Chains A and B, each alone.
Chain A
Amino acid sequence: MTTDLSSDFVVIGSGICGSLVARELAMRGASVLILEAGPRLDRGRLVAAFRNSPRRSDWMSPYPAVAWAPHPIYQPEDNGYLVQAGPYPYPAEYIRAVGGTTWHWAAQAWRLVPNDMRIRSLYDVGVDWPMTYEELDPWYQRAEEIIGVAGAENTGSPRQKPFPMTPVAEPWSMRRFRERLAPEYAVVDNTVARNSRPYDGRPACCGNNSCQPICPINAQYTGGVAADAAEAAGAKLLPNTVVYHIEHDATGHIAAVHYFDPDKTSHRVTGKQFILAANGIESPKLLLLSASDKYPAGLANSSGMVGRNLMDHPSTSLTFYAEEELWLGRGPQSPSSINTLRDGAFRREHAPYRLDFTNINQVFAVTQSLIAEGVYGAEFEKQLRWRAARQCNVKNVLEVLPNPDNRIALSAQKDAMGIPKPEAHYSIGDYTRKGAEDSKPHFARIAELMGGTGLRYSAEGNFANNQHITGTLGMGSDPANSVADSYGRTHDHENLFICGTGLMPTSATMNSTLTAIALALRTADHLLPANASKSAEHAA
């Protein structure tokens, strides 16, 4: 096959991490090519598609899978792309398109707390990270400034400089939680990549309450914004290019990648440095797919850890009716949390967690319930108002420990391009289950403080998936049990780097995106320091 293209840096995946790395490198004068498996998206069309959808709580409804770059779809039917090997399902949702999965997220942009990175040393569980919080702090700050993070003080993560923006205005519903739960529980504003004032040419939030699946006005930072920014900085972005093979030379140095276009014509792209940023499932899949005679277990896999230690932040929850009218649905979807259960000596025994209060509009859910109950006419209208005003929910966001048996592997089934599908092996361990048990009295107490009635706990043993795909390309200082070093450089291939949540060796309790971005920016600086000239060689 012919070699079509060549670039200093080849980035695989245009999600928020891939695009922001590409942007950094392009701003410093390097030639950067981003290969994205999926198509370009248009924000307005996504809004209209969601409004036109009959599945109001299906946040993937504006993002259908395309034949050449499928992603998991579960409604109205499971498309079988992410094969579930069990014992526990891992029904992650992600988007293969320009901008990636953060087109639909609640924009929670927390840092870890320092102890999150030392749970082995402190609590004898999990592993330690190959860096400290203090080392990552400057890149956390830079990430927050690029994407525009609004946050409150005293959320447990130390910082050197203020947040770029003050917290987003607190919805009335959350204020009532905060006031009624005090002083027993401290309800804090979430740290979010959402504008509390115009920032970076994007407007302030106007309360569309549709953060998931789409912020209609880009008040929330998304991978779509990042991809635009990467292109504006001079990166070249090719959509609909499905990378299926990473090619190495005799020494293990990465020489090229191969991709299919939608007609399944193969193309070869050469480069000096390669950055794999295709998310925590697609990236390990690609490494495993690229197995060769020299690397029969797949690339970057001398440790055997590629795809392993799959983690997420599972949730259980309590839904109830507050005694006063809160009217969830005014303002952003995820405004507030209780943050004080994230760390402590108890981490020896059970998972820590964040308690998250939703502000998602309840009208659709309540209408469905009332119809199911056969309530019609004037009574329906009365009940709809009563319940939509009061129904609320609290959920936990639990840590999962790394377990090598939990993993992404290659399935025997193939997709329309003949590429093996990813297969999820997963289970929820006792550590996490005990954390869920620990949270139950808190749920009950919170409902009590809100004068709650009609308490409905999520089904016993049922954990909801939060799409925080971590661990599968875990970093570490020991090549025997990790895939990459703290800069994301794979131990086995000096010019192959990893960016994304898969790098995180433990999951902690906070949504992973900001940490992944901070790590990616640190990788970019390592690849090409900011004061390097256009023709300078990359840093060793």
Chain B
Amino acid sequence: MHEFVDAMDAATSGCSRRDLLRGVALGWISSFLPAAFAATAAEDTGGFNALSALLTGRKIDDPTRSRRLFDALVADKASFMSDVAALLDMIRTRNIPVAQLQTALDSEKSPFAALPRAVVSAWYLGIVGSGKTARCLDFEMAMNAQVVGDVLKPPTYCYGGYGSWAVKPI
């Protein structure tokens, strides 16, 4: 679902109201459960964060962004969480390096072949899904923009004052 953050939420800079409510609710509920069953907000994104860190080679330390991309990926494919767990398991068991992962999955026609692409598309492009169900979740803050951010601005953002693009970039 698209989360519309209305103007009143602006004060909670970056955090959606749903996140706060979820965190509070879960915290309250978990205080009643035995520790072994305590479900914290972090756990359902845990596998996703681990796989994301593995594939992108970057620290995944933005919980708001993680949560949002995760929710979109789950909405796009209901089995996302279990697929992630299964793929992580496969990678650990067979010790597949990231550089060879996609080739291995493609050549084996693995049921998880689309999964790394879906995860990195979410982080690198900020896009989840394809065709009519494709959603944009990031653009200027997507990882691909950050990778080249010392030289380029994403389209629709000004480069600088008039003529600033005439000089050698770096």
Asked, given contacts A51-B140, A327-B151, A376-B56, whether A214 binds B156 with beta carbons under 8 Å apart, the answer is: yes
Contact A208 B103 (CB under 8 A): no
A297–B86 alpha-carbon span in the complex (Å): 66
A368–B130 alpha-carbon span in the complex (Å): 13
Asked, given contacts A208-B155, A331-B165, whether A385 binds B148 with beta carbons under 8 Å apart, the answer is: yes
Asked, given contacts A172-B167, A172-B168, A374-B101, whether A207 binds B159 with beta carbons under 8 Å apart, the answer is: yes
Asked, given contacts A77-B131, A171-B165, A377-B57, whether A51 binds B156 with beta carbons under 8 Å apart, the answer is: yes
Chain B residues, Cβ within 8 Å of A52: 136, 139
Contact B155 A376 (CB under 8 A): no
Interface membership of B99, Cβ < 8 A: yes
Contact A374 B106 (CB under 8 A): yes
Chain B residues, Cβ within 8 Å of A205: 162
Interface membership of B36, Cβ < 8 A: no
Contact B136 A47 (CB under 8 A): no
A195 CB → nearest B CB, Å: 8
B75 CB → nearest A CB, Å: 14
Contact B144 A367 (CB under 8 A): yes
Of the listed stretches B3-11, B19-27, B41-49, B117-125, chain A binds: B117-125
B122 CB → nearest A CB, Å: 11
Q: Between A and B, how many residue pairs show CB distances below 8 Å?
A: 148
Contact with B along A341-377 (1 / 0, CB 8 A): 0000000000000000000110110011001111111
A381–B149 alpha-carbon span in the complex (Å): 12
Asked, given contacts A371-B117, A376-B56, A384-B147, whether A54 binds B152 with beta carbons under 8 Å apart, the answer is: no
Which positions 113-170 of chain B face chain A at CB distance < 8 Å?
A: 116-117, 120-121, 124-125, 127-132, 134-136, 139-140, 144-145, 147-148, 151-170
Contact of B55 among A77, A368, A376 (CB under 8 A): A376
Contact B145 A209 (CB under 8 A): no
Contact A371 B121 (CB under 8 A): yes
Interface membership of A175, Cβ < 8 A: yes
Asked, given contacts A172-B166, A206-B162, A209-B153, whether A377 binds B117 with beta carbons under 8 Å apart, the answer is: no
A371–B129 alpha-carbon span in the complex (Å): 14
Contact B148 A379 (CB under 8 A): no
A47–B158 alpha-carbon span in the complex (Å): 12
Asked, given contacts A77-B131, A374-B116, whether A330 binds B159 with beta carbons under 8 Å apart, the answer is: yes
Contact B165 A172 (CB under 8 A): yes
Nearest residue (CB) in A for B159 is A207
A230–B98 alpha-carbon span in the complex (Å): 59
Interface membership of A536, Cβ < 8 A: no
A172–B156 alpha-carbon span in the complex (Å): 19
Chain A residues, Cβ within 8 Å of B157: 208
A431 CB → nearest B CB, Å: 36
Chain A residues, Cβ within 8 Å of B158: 206-208, 216-217
Asked, given contacts A207-B164, A209-B153, whether A54 binds B116 with beta carbons under 8 Å apart, the answer is: no
Nearest residue (CB) in B for A378 is B57
Contact A377 B55 (CB under 8 A): yes
Contact with B along A39-72 (1 / 0, CB 8 A): 0000000010011111110000000000000000
Contact A376 B57 (CB under 8 A): yes
Contact A77 B132 (CB under 8 A): yes
Contact B165 A330 (CB under 8 A): yes
Contact with A along B14-42 (1 / 0, CB 8 A): 00000000000000000000000000000
Contact B129 A54 (CB under 8 A): yes
- Per CB-CB distance, the 7 closest pairs between chain A and chain B, nearest first, are A374-B102, A207-B159, A331-B165, A377-B57, A54-B134, A330-B165, A206-B158
* Selected A-B contacts with CB under 8 Å, 13 pairs: A51-B136, A76-B130, A210-B155, A216-B158, A329-B153, A331-B159, A331-B166, A361-B154, A368-B125, A374-B102, A376-B55, A376-B116, A377-B98
* Beyond A206-B160, A384-B144, 14 extra complex contacts between A and B, CB < 8 Å: A53-B136, A54-B135, A206-B161, A214-B156, A325-B169, A325-B170, A368-B125, A371-B125, A374-B102, A375-B102, A376-B57, A376-B116, A379-B99, A385-B147
